[in-house]
Amino acid sequence: MRLFVGLGNPGARYARHRHNVGFMAVDAIADAHATSPWRRRFSGQATEAVLGGMRVLLLKPETYMNDSGRAVAEAQRFFKIPLHDIVVFHDELDLPPAKLRVKRGGGHAGHNGLRSITAHCGNDYGRVRIGIGHPGDKALVHSYVLSDFTKVEEAWVEDLCRACADYAPLLARGEDASFQNKVHLAMQAKGWTDVRRPGEKAPGGAAKE
């Protein structure tokens, strides 16, 4: 059993927030591969899928971001899932928008969802880091992550989430580098090579989203 966790906050008011892109990615995987409807389990919403021949539990904690680890720990204990078989999808300020990186272990970089999971479960789980860009000023981070993607941003979010769903079987088999490369190539093919955060100026001074 593998555990894929999407991070976000529950409820309609948060649904399109940048901080909820982890939920969006896991929703896309479920739409493409789930074998059962979402249902309330482990202080969240859960469903199962078979990816790359592996049984995978998909989980969206409903404990709010800062307490995500409680839900993850419940699922981990119930199925006795090793930490290295857990992968967490989350927003990443330190990556440009539309970029994705996979890593194992490491720090939480101030992300409260990761901080909570590490506190409850340990640190050596996988991360799928989905770049949303940084607003440029630390004082703006809170309002930036807790605001909706713009319509322009929603286009790349949809393409990236679809790519995550298409290549999720690679991730389930532990082929992290192949998953990351396939998603990169899919986004490149869609033309998402130089996406900027809202209001950021492109070379030459013109604002480009």
Active site residues: 19
Q: Are 43 and 71 in contact (CB under 8 A)?
A: yes
Q: Which long-range contacts (CB under 8 A, 24 or more apart) does 55-59 make?
A: 55/1, 55/2, 56/1, 56/2, 56/3, 56/4, 56/168, 56/172, 57/1, 57/2, 57/3, 57/4, 57/81, 58/4, 58/6, 58/26, 58/29, 58/30, 58/34, 59/3, 59/4, 59/5, 59/6, 59/26
Across the chain, where does the E strand assignment appear?
A: 2-6, 39-41, 44-51, 54-61, 86-92, 100-104, 126-131
Of 131, 79, 80, 122, nearest to 104 by C-alpha is 122
β-pair partners for 157:
none
Q: What is the DSSP letter of 195?
A: -
